[in-house]
A and B are shown apart, each in its own frame.
Chain A
Amino acid sequence: MALKLLNGLKVVELGDSVAVAFCGKLLAGLGADVLVIEAPGGSPLRRLPPYYQDIPGADRSVLHNWLCAEKRSITLDIEQARGHAILLELLRGRDALIRGSGKGLGVADIKTANPKLSVITISPFGSEGPYATYRGNDLIHFAMSGFSYYLSSPVGDPAASPPKQNPGYQVGLVAGLRAASATLWAIVAAAKKGAGVMVDLSELEAFTYLMYQYTAHIANGTLPANRERVPGAAITIVGGLVWCLPCSDGWVMVSPREDHQFRHWAEVIGETEWASQPEFSTLKLREHNAWVIYERSAAWTKVRKKNFVFLAAQEKKVACFPVSSMNDLPELEQLKHRGFFAEIDHPVIKGLRYPGLPAKIDNRDTPPTRRAPLLGEHTLEICAELGISSEEIKMLWQQGVI
């Protein structure tokens, strides 16, 4: 049995966006052979922060080591005729090409080189339409999808609380996840069609797709008119009542939404008489009296540590978790047990642990992850696979093609 799900799949990656790289990363992580084509100076991703020890420099981009782990890389000047020809040779026998927009390869060239190749083109807005030439990045897409607006909701004074900016490359990462799905769809569809399938993926569309609640709000006529908070209103998230409670060393979120859960929560905090009080007897009434519940719950939690509250609630089967910061995550016992974070061996970046795939497959331990390729690391190996002679390799090197 193959060690990984996508062993045997062959993919070429051509493009410098986080979305393209994350798509390739996921396919590589699942076992595909992913070949990255970089310009001779290297992909701009190699220069992106965060850097190891917060110091920029060659092979210090932690982001690059994460995004390009498990891939192979060739440097190739595709502007030169021979470089372009080598690129077309690389497409032969491959299943898919993942690329950014505006990368110099015509569809006709691709179809001639490999009519069975599927091509996934990822661009900020999509390659056609009124915004086809518009510039986008994570900040812009986060805003246009509605995320920025609703993340800063509800608020007492909208004018004083601008919509939220995204922390990093979440739009690119979600688009890459979606593109990996589109790639596997295209590969199966191409087999049925007998020819490659051309996918056009818009980062804005891929990200907006997450907003299922709001499609429903529009359909049901329940879209809030604005971001303003209704004073005293309880918070329900995805249909369930949630409280955020202070502890002596942080916060927890707790959601004893159903009758039995509420009864158990009352036991946890020693308010056993709540169960029999009419003002808390139904979900609607608890929503109405959410602030009374908050105050009495908070009186109990604020003198206790968040982990104590978390475990005490969970012992009674009440859904409750601490609110974490990024720095808390490596310490979470659950993640340690699952081996979710793992080191990647690297000549420069040492001692850093990276998030892995979010699933255990066949309950196996995840094998160690191969670090991102150094610049041009696999150029010779890949040229040899193409049958390029060592004489020509020397020449290509001198001409700056590879």
Chain B
Amino acid sequence: MYQNALEGVRVVDFSWVVAGPFCTKLLGLMGADVIKIETSTRPQYLNRGGWSFGLNDSKKSCSINLSTEEGKAIVKRLVAVSDVVVENFSTGVMDRLGFGYEALKAIKNDLIYVSSSGVGRSGPAKDYPAYGSLLQGFSGWTSLFGEPNPQMEAMGVDPSWTDPLTGSWEALLIQAALLSRSRSGQGVCVDLSMLESAIAIMGDVFLGAAASGKSPVPGQSSSHEHAVPHGIYPCKEPDSWIAISVECQAGWGAFSAVLGNPPWCSEEGMRTPAGRQKNRQRIDSLLSAWTAQFPATELFHRFQAAGVAAGPCNNFQEVMNDPQLELRGLFRQPANSDAAVPKTTGIPWKDESDWKGNLFQAPALGEHNEYVFKGILQMSDEEYERHRRAGVFD
């Protein structure tokens, strides 16, 4: 199957929480053999609740107690027959385990070793503990949405942004490293920073502030100064809203027609883009009064049918029910699951077939111990039992 492009690539996955797992899920969906290194001796690995089912699908799990020498030796045997190592521990943890880049490179010369961390593995803050949530503040992301306040009301701290973005960068860099290795035969060491991952996706806003000396207004779009109206307007049902953006002269005529050509749309001051820029506030207030009479979904289709960019401010139930995303098959059940297993996500693109990734259900802790130890590492039954009884696979 050509779609499983990463088939034959084995990933030893030490990562946990969100950023790393988000990355290795993508690699798994592309066909890589992702093996999570977990243990029952640390409670966070036992927790299969929360979002784990949707971030750890399409991977395998083995359990190894890394506080045992045998456990560490087994990991090294696995690395020797693998292609990629992914980790997102605090700085120094992998070195203490004997799994630093140089140590593992000595075992597997062309290894691709990817470390993701809060602020990177070099620099004055490299040892600082960090969480994605705090980096949303540190990176400037929250400053684009709201003022800091004690209750973090409407401050832009949620949804999680830094973590899934970091995972997305990480997948890209691993793909690039694999291509590079296929040409050069050489391994690659990647030191990925979550802080930088977030800022790199705000490059336009950062450069806007740096070039103009003006800070962006929180919660306001600064990228479409030319579009009027351009904003979010209330609809009929409680807390329902629609985004509307009119970008050009022809768009204004279409927009006005959807509203039934009210007299204010053809006033002198509304005829040119420059005039409408001046009247932005007045347009917003007239438009809000009008949109408030209709359901968001109705307005969405009425505007779009007329060629005006519009879209409802969906909650996530509405997102999952969206017919376009439904058709694209983003939310789907893993192939090997029964009907009770909830929907997770496939690969976020399509090709000519309807393939949406090599999606299978998230593994139970240690579900693939035999596959990894007896299969990949070819342990005899006797050796496997000996380690199991000694607690090496806890």
Contact = CB atoms under 8 A, between A and B. Distances in A.
A202 B168 CA distance: 16
B144 interface: yes
Interface stretch (B2-10, B33-41, B263-271, B273-281): B2-10
A144 B313 CA distance: 5
B382 interface: no
Contacts of B53: 216, 219
A142 B201 CA distance: 14
Interface string B184-215: 10101111110111011111111111111111
Contact of B203 (A137, A322, A355, A362): A355
A285 interface: no
B232 A148 contact: yes
A211 B325 CA distance: 13
Give the 7 A-B CB pairs with smallest separation, nearest first: A219-B342, A358-B196, A216-B51, A50-B208, A237-B133, A193-B2, A321-B138
Given A148-B243, A361-B190, A126 B350 contact: yes
Contacts of B119: 334
Contacts of B11: none
Interface in B282-337: 304, 307-320, 322-325, 327-328, 330-331
Contact of A2 (B180, B204, B207, B230): B180
B28 interface: no
A147 B140 CA distance: 17
A145 B186 CA distance: 40
Interface string B133-170: 11101111011111011111111111111011110110
Given A189-B3, A330-B210, A143 B313 contact: yes
A205 B328 contact: yes
Interface of B: 2-3, 5-6, 17-18, 22, 26, 30, 49-51, 53-55, 119-126, 128-135, 137-140, 142-146, 148-161, 163-166, 168-169, 171-173, 175-180, 183-184, 186, 188-193, 195-197, 199-216, 219-225, 230-232, 234, 238-239, 241-243, 245, 247, 304, 307-320, 322-325, 327-328, 330-331, 342-345, 348-352
Contact of A140 (B3, B18, B311): B311
B5 A192 contact: yes
A219 B285 CA distance: 39
B124 A333 contact: yes
A229 B153 contact: yes
Contacts of B312: 143-144
A144 B322 contact: yes
B160 A237 contact: yes
B28 to A, nearest CB: 13
Question: Max chain A CB contacts within 10 Å: which of B180, B190, B204, B344?
Answer: B204
A103 interface: no
Contacts of A240: 131, 133
Contacts of B5: 185-186, 188-189, 192
B191 to A, nearest CB: 4
A338 B239 contact: no
Nearest to A4: B180
Contacts of B133: 237-238, 240, 242, 253, 255
B2 A244 contact: no
Interface in A151-202: 151-156, 158-159, 161-170, 173-174, 177-182, 184-190, 192-193, 197-202
B154 to A, nearest CB: 4
A330 B139 CA distance: 11
A168 B129 contact: no
Interface string A215-257: 1111110010011010000010111101011100011111100
A238 B18 contact: yes
Nearest to A349: B211
Given A158-B239, A167-B144, A184-B172, A49 B129 contact: no
A30 B176 contact: yes
B331 A164 contact: no
Question: Max chain B CB contacts within 10 Å: which of A1, A164, A261, A361?
Answer: A164
Question: Max chain A CB contacts within 10 Å: which of B55, B122, B208, B307?
Answer: B208
A308 interface: no
Contacts of A30: 176
Contacts of B314: 143-146, 149
A318 B234 CA distance: 42
A53 interface: yes
A151 B158 contact: yes
B22 A212 contact: yes
A55 to B, nearest CB: 9
A325 B143 contact: yes
Given A139-B230, A337-B122, 13 more contacts: A49-B208, A52-B211, A135-B307, A177-B201, A178-B168, A178-B348, A192-B2, A213-B160, A214-B319, A223-B317, A229-B153, A338-B196, A361-B191
30 contacts: A5-B173, A53-B211, A54-B212, A63-B204, A129-B327, A131-B324, A135-B309, A139-B221, A143-B242, A148-B232, A149-B315, A151-B158, A159-B239, A162-B234, A188-B6, A197-B2, A198-B351, A204-B325, A210-B168, A211-B316, A212-B164, A216-B51, A242-B131, A242-B134, A314-B129, A318-B129, A340-B193, A358-B199, A359-B196, A361-B190
